[in-house]
Structure 1
């Protein structure tokens, strides 16, 4: 199998798992969002630690501890991904799957916005058009909801910020996830201990199946992230960008078709504007990628006989 085909298989696997993740989270009730988040963190540490031990790849920790700025970046990444996970779990289990899908639809536009505001990047005119359409979509959805779609915006900004920090850290997927989860493990264990003291812990008190599902939350977190890393290492950015919309499309389908969440005309109009912005954004990215490759071929030195 070629690396490109394997990359697409990894990418499709990751986004399919993320797309159907709301179905899994619904099975974790009656555990509350914070308990689910705590279990997701703790069991992620356990799962990835076992994986790294099996691969005999633990030496990276010593090198990492000698880089204080990297450790500070990891703490920031851990905080951002905790906010993202917690918000997503809350959204799914409060019957707002459609709004969580919106967050991941607008995430690419927020990434571009962060590029302008944080990295001082210059945008092409078409990218400004996409951002303008995205802002209009948020305005329409604000009118529809009667409030800012804060849950979607929190998901989009936290995940975009997480991606920005991770890009600067440059850590491999498994090692990065292990250290980030380890940073969060102590407060997560503390929260689970507090629930135990209050006799509010559902772990071990609902059913064997429920307990097993909470334990498997670690693997359910780590596996798609590792598959995504495998895809990112093998696919061109344009290819990865095209399939990233699979997850929110599936999440939206789960919200509307399976959980029967409402989709009134005004909300549908807001989503239509988001999709239009993404079409403009993606078309511009593909066109720019082709132009860059064409220029690279022109600038290639001509071999001499």
Structure 2
């Protein structure tokens, strides 16, 4: 006979595993800036192409080893799914490209800002597209985040376009994925699969000398030295591994907890940008990040409050 206390203990153990998996995921994502900074000798689009190609290989091995080929064929046979996957693949490719470009060109602070404001951007998008309504605290949070961006624009003399674009592409990506009834591993495999022909065309053109990269360089970097080539291949695992951990965590912990732990990612990006890369942190950055962190605290507390209300209304 299994005692109730044993069941509870099992639930706690599973929840603890989920939190640890989410911490590992956010940590890998946050520290990946160091990895992509080390690839600064490789043009961003070439890095993006390899990340796409080797992610498709990695996810393909995972999906077919799990016997999920039927799901893949069903999705590819649906025009609706294909259209949605095409849109989500463009969003994720744009997001990856912006992230890699920001890190390589000394704008990792903007990348961290983008991932900080993404949840608030997503809430605003839900209001405009899905007809969702804000609570009072969510409205205040969005207002504070907007004020932060406006202040940074004033202080630096230009809007933080990279941060805004990163937040926007990731928010639209999340919106599409929310409407797509496919698991994260299968859907990301199909997204990278759809992008792979474009990646291969770009890499062929670079290595054959048919065209130059955006910086005017001729010839691809892959194959020129072992370490760079190995890092480009490993970018597929670096992309796929955390997503599998994320899926594992999502099945074991509440969504609100998942969201709170996820803020570890931009926090680590922020610390790496300032402490490791030595990016210039101005007073305007300080005020903006203070407003963003306050906004996220309000947003997170409201999310937790709503979750507790749902649980209490569900009853025992």
Q: TM-score when scaled to structure 2?
A: 0.91
Alignment gaps of 5+ in structure 1: 301-305
**Residue 45 in structure 1 maps to residue 56 in structure 2:** yes
Deviation per CA, 1:78-113, whole angstroms, max 9, x where unpaired?
000000000000000001111100000001100100
Cα drift, residue 234 of structure 1: 1.5
1:18 maps to which of 29, 32, 39: 29
Aligned equivalent of 1:282: 300
Match among 230, 250, 272 for residue 212 of structure 1: 230
Which residue number in structure 1 is paired with residue 213 of structure 2?
none
Shift of 1:10: 1.4
C-alpha displacement of 1:130: 0.7
- Pick the aligned partner of 2:77 from 62, 66, 74: 66
Please say if residues 114 and 164 of structure 2, whose CA atoms lie closer than 8 Å, have aligned partners that are also in contact.
yes
Q: Deviations over 1:60-94 (max 9, x none)?
A: 12211332111100000000000000000000000
SS of the residue 2:133 aligns to: coil
Q: Distance in 2 between matches of 1:157 and 1:147?
A: 18
1:114 maps to 2:132: no
Deviations for 1:140-181, whole angstroms, at most 9, x for unmatched residues?
Answer: 111122111110011101111111111110211221111000
1:126 corresponds to? 137
Aligned-residue offset at 1:57: 2.2
Q: Which residue of 2 aligns with 1:145?
A: 156
Q: Of 231, 251, 256, which residue of structure 2 is paired with 1:233?
A: 251
1:34 aligns with 2:53: no
TM-score, length-normalised on structure 1? 0.95
- Superposed CA RMSD: 1.2
Partners in 2 of 1:65 and 1:288 — Cα distance?
37
Q: Provide Cα deviations, 1:190-216, integer angstroms capped at 9, x if missing partner.
A: 0001101224201011x2111100011
- Cα distance between partner residues in 2 of 1:283 and 1:53: 40
1:2-61 CA deviation, whole Å, 9 max, x = no partner?
221121121111101001010110121210100000000001111111222322321212
Match runs of 1:79-228 below 5 Å: 79-198=90-209, 199-205=218-224, 207-228=225-246
- Structure 1 distance, partners of 2:151, 2:181, is 37
Deviation at 1:295, TM superposition (A): 2.2
Q: 5+ residue gaps in structure 2?
A: 1-9, 210-217
Deviation at 1:289, TM superposition (A): 1.5
Match of 2:214 in 1: none
Who is 1:263 aligned against? 281
